[in-house]
Structure 1
């Protein structure tokens, strides 16, 4: 059975808090970003407010690097690579592959060759969202952590791009 969850687009706001909802708009996960703390961390909690995953930006790194931990174990790393034309990132994960256009949030996640989840951008009743389809219930938390991590990378990249624009 496929489970569908929704994450509102433009997740990162001033308070950097948002919820992941199900099809009936019930809260399923809560995500909170550390405010003015180093390293920048996003904590993903279940409805009992128990932390189930974290996304952390590595502090002292030549190029941006993000770590995703689920239940205390590192499951993947997203890192920026040197590129002269546009931002290029790689995702390293043991046994997990992301296929499709993850930069535009339209991709599927495979574990050992089997599709365990899909992410797509949708327009839903409560605003533009990412739809996260969970095909393997055991991968649910990892799927949410992947979406939060990718959006964190995209947000970080857009802030870097905007700060490098100067006006005369």
Structure 2
């Protein structure tokens, strides 16, 4: 099992941040497209190679985010029509999310088997998330999913993503 950490800094508008491993070494770099259409977030490995791309679809009645890993589209997050509370669905072949993904406490399953977990850490300045990767082959997809959910939450609140 591998653990990664994402730290949200309070009041930060920088769209570049790192994801750390258990030893606090950089594991991934995330770069957002500042003031560009379509809005994108690139996830880079430590060698600087893009391993995942999150793109907000521009011409869509309701918000839609596509996630590509190694050049292949692996999942889509769609906002569903709702009168009272925002609802989203995740479309992916063999991948599902169980738990409260809106509050960033969930499990990622592939064909019914838990491959990763995300938990919000409490009692810290800003929000911190612990990502547990149980199947290392799914690591990039799990990281991309977490960043995509954060993008969806920021889009729904009308502000920039706060994961930095």
Q: Which has the higher contact order (CA 8 A, sep 6+)?
A: 2
Alignment partner, residue 34 of structure 1: 33
Alignment partner, residue 55 of structure 2: 56
* Alignment root-mean-square deviation, CA: 1.8
Alignment partner, residue 128 of structure 1: 127
Q: How do 1:2-151 residues align onto structure 2 when only pairs under 5 Å count?
A: 2-9=1-8, 13-123=12-122, 128-151=127-150
1:9 shift after superposition: 2.6
Query: TM-score by structure 1 length?
Result: 0.90
Alignment partner, residue 165 of structure 1: none
1:127 shift after superposition: 5.3
1:126 shift after superposition: 7.7
Structure 2 unaligned blocks of 5 or more: 160-164
1:10 shift after superposition: 5.4
Q: Is the 8 A contact 1:42 1:54 kept in 2?
A: yes
The 3-state SS of whatever aligns with 1:77 is: strand
Larger Rg belongs to:
1
Once residues 81 and 148 of structure 1 are traced to their aligned partners in structure 2, the CA distance between those partners, rounded to angstroms, is 19
Q: Is the 8 A contact 1:11 1:18 kept in 2?
A: no
Once residues 24 and 156 of structure 1 are traced to their aligned partners in structure 2, the CA distance between those partners, rounded to angstroms, is 32
Structure 1 unaligned blocks of 5 or more: 161-168
Once residues 33 and 11 of structure 1 are traced to their aligned partners in structure 2, the CA distance between those partners, rounded to angstroms, is 17
